[in-house]
Each structure stands twice: as structure tokens, then as C-alpha cells.
Amino acid sequence: MLLEEYEIRTGKLDPALDADPCPEPLRYLWHCFCELSAGRQSNGFGPCALSWGEIDSWARVSGRAPTGFELTALLLLDHCYLEAAGKKGKA
């Protein structure tokens, strides 16, 4: 059962949902993702995935030089965002 379904069915918040959504050492990555996502394009059916060109432009304009780990994390966040947006659009 999904954690959200547990809350709906029982009226209680699952302890797994009562955690800090973003650990402090990774919070900067969340802020970077939010900056990137704010400039996200749409194709009329929903949000588009972030492109390498958009990430490159963001990095140059913001003066950042993301590491391989950071790029992987940003792409994973983007994947999760798009997955959630798709589920929301189907609801």
C-alpha cells in the first residue's frame, strides 16, 4: 500500500511521511533543481524533461559547475517530478 493511501484509509500519517523531505547536506541540490525547473518548457500536454542544453545554460548563467553526482541527482529529481506530474494529470 502506498504511504499516502495508508493516511487516507487510516487517517494517520505514516511515520515514513513525517520526515524532513530534504536532508540538509542535499538541500542545495533541491534549490538548484527548483531554479532549473522554474524555467521548464511545456509541450501543451504537460511539462517537458529538462534538457542537457537547459542544464548547461543554467550552469553557465548561474556560475555553477555541477559534478557528475550533482548532474545525476538533478536528473533523478527531474524524473521524479515528471512521474509525479504525470500521475497528477491522470487523477
How many domains does the structure of the chain reveal? 1
**Could you list the residue range(s) of the whole structural domain that residue 47 is in?**
25-90
Q: Does 13 map to a domain?
A: no
Q: Note the pTM of the prediction, 2 decimals.
A: 0.72
* Residues 46 and 85 sit within 8 Å (Cβ to Cβ): yes
pLDDT at 4: 66
Look-up: residue for cell 513525517?
Answer: 18
pLDDT at 62: 94
CB within 8 Å of 32: residues ≥ 6 apart: 64, 66, 70, 74
pLDDT at 87: 77
Q: Does 19 map to a domain?
A: no
pLDDT at 8: 76
**Average pLDDT per consecutive 10 residues, the chain (91 residues; last block may be shorter):** 68 68 87 93 90 96 96 95 80 50
Q: Does 69 map to a domain?
A: yes
pLDDT at 1: 47
